[in-house]
Chain A
Amino acid sequence: MANTSATTAGAQDQDGSRRDFLFLATGAAVAVGGAFAAWPFVSSMRPDAATIAAGAPLDVDLAPITDGQIVNVFWRGKLIFVRKLTEKEVKDMKAIPVSELSDPAPFDARVKSGHDQWLVVYGNCTHLGCVPIGHQGNFEGWACPCHGSQFDAVGRVRRGPAPINLPIPPYTFASDTKVRIGEEGGKAAA
């Protein structure tokens, strides 16, 4: 009798563990399937192929830009200032000691070597994204109308709540009169 019940119990155990495995496998399949099913929805919210293709590097012709002029261009929907510095601005900017800056960056780090006259920076204030107005403020650069940040002629923050300098987009000189925005070191930006 005891023997029989032991056998039955053993069989039930085996049955039970097989059942546990079945339930576990099914639960796992549901979880994995659910995760995979969610992916197309998440993925569809990423930038689509047309947007990515439209964000390819952009060539800007520098020839028509005159001394002191700031040209607005858009790359990937972002505003970019292309500015031709005057000789005086170059000289003034080079003269500023880096230690005076809240976000220290030497002049050489703001322009490409050999192209001292050309500044390419993103055109939105690093505080909250307003567009600073050119040739305003006390530093030969920009002044932001929203919260009073001021930038110098090479886009370094000099006053106000903006935490960092105007960032520099990836770009490269395709020739002396052409910059290619969105490409750096021979590779297109990701």
Chain B
Amino acid sequence: MMRYPSTLAAGLIAILGIGQASAEEHAPNPPRQKWSFAGVFGKFDEAQLQRGFQVYKEVCSNCHSMKLVRFRNLAEEGGPGFSAAQVKALAETYQVKEENDKGEVVDRPGRAADGFPPMYPNEKAAAAAHGGKAPPDFSVLAKARTYERGFPAFVFDALPLTGYSEQGVDYIHALLNGYGDAPEGKEVPDGVYYNKYYPQGQVIAMPPPISDGAVTYPKNDKGEPVVPETTDQYAKDVAAFMAWAAEPHMMARKALGFQVILFLILLSGLLYYVKKQIWKPLGGEVHGLQPELHKTF
């Protein structure tokens, strides 16, 4: 339905010779990655989420808060799969501010119910420490970032089999890999960095946050890291972790959805035959959306 009018409009626009703003201002679309959690049967990879959390903890969390995620979430079903004891131990390594009986704000060791304590006391302090703009909070960032896919891709993105809802993680992964030398003739002001995938003028205030070997991953039996310790792998892992942080019940959602849709298909099938049976004594209903169109007079 959408195809024809849009093609028509695109054609019309082409004829009129006025297109979108020049392409060079636009960042390229992030390359699509394979994600274990994409698709109808998508599931988070526990080991990947744990590695992603490690990257967040060791690197990203120096600037980025994650206010909506609680320590206990790390042990909840459908997440990184830490044990309750691990979470308790982890929480205790953080100091959480609390008001005591005398009204003083004091530090106490974190509990599972606490959120990750932010690096800065408030948004203004975070902004002041980062040249006027606070680093975005990580909690729902994977859902808060996307990129335009344009027509007709956006239609297929909504459909079964061709569905695509990982724009946010693809963008995050691309952004972390998008640093490099600016192309010839591209002015990069002081204090900002060229990043191919950053949508606003391809210059970003965040310095390249991570490099190959920056995080030491767990080793396997042979003493080698389970996955390569590269920027690309770090980016994938932390993006996957952020996908979970933004949508901690994704696995439950997809699992329930499968059952619900199966049930609805079954029920609509039953109702269809009930309808047929009921209309039978009347000689049946003429099928098709507009029965009268199928009749010749």
A–B direct contact (CB < 8 Å): yes
Number of contacts between A and B (CB, 8 Å)? 32
Contact between A29 and B267, CB atoms less than 8 A apart: yes
Q: Which of A48-56, A107-115, A159-167 contacts B (4 or more CB under 8 A)?
A: A48-56
| Residues of A close to B277: CB separation below 8 A | 19, 22-23
Q: How far apart sit A3 and B288, CA to CA, in the bound complex (Å)?
A: 39
Q: How far apart sit A100 and B161, CA to CA, in the bound complex (Å)?
A: 76
Q: Please provide the chain B residues from 76 to 134 with a CB less than 8 Å away from any CB of chain A in the complex.
A: 76, 111-113
Contact between B267 and A26, CB atoms less than 8 A apart: yes
Contact between A22 and B267, CB atoms less than 8 A apart: no
Chain B contact residues (Cβ within 8 angstroms of A): what range? 10 to 19
Q: Which of B50-58, B233-241, B268-276 contacts A (4 or more CB under 8 A)?
A: B268-276
Q: Cβ of A11 < 8 Å from any Cβ of B?
A: no
Q: How far apart sit A19 and B277, CA to CA, in the bound complex (Å)?
A: 7
| Residues of A close to B270: CB separation below 8 A | 22, 25-26, 29
> In the assembled complex, how far is the CB of residue A126 from the closest CB belonging to chain B, in whole angstroms?
27
Q: How far apart sit A76 and B113, CA to CA, in the bound complex (Å)?
A: 13
Q: How far apart sit A26 and B274, CA to CA, in the bound complex (Å)?
A: 8
| Residues of B close to A26: CB separation below 8 A | 267, 270-271, 274
Q: How far apart sit A33 and B274, CA to CA, in the bound complex (Å)?
A: 17
Contact between A30 and B267, CB atoms less than 8 A apart: yes
Return 23 A-B CB contacts under 8 Å, by A number.
A19-B277, A22-B270, A22-B273, A25-B270, A26-B267, A26-B271, A26-B274, A29-B263, A29-B266, A29-B267, A29-B270, A30-B267, A33-B263, A33-B267, A36-B263, A49-B76, A53-B70, A53-B72, A53-B112, A53-B113, A54-B113, A56-B111, A56-B113
Residues of A within 8 A of B (CB): 19, 22-23, 25-26, 29-30, 33, 36, 49-50, 53-54, 56
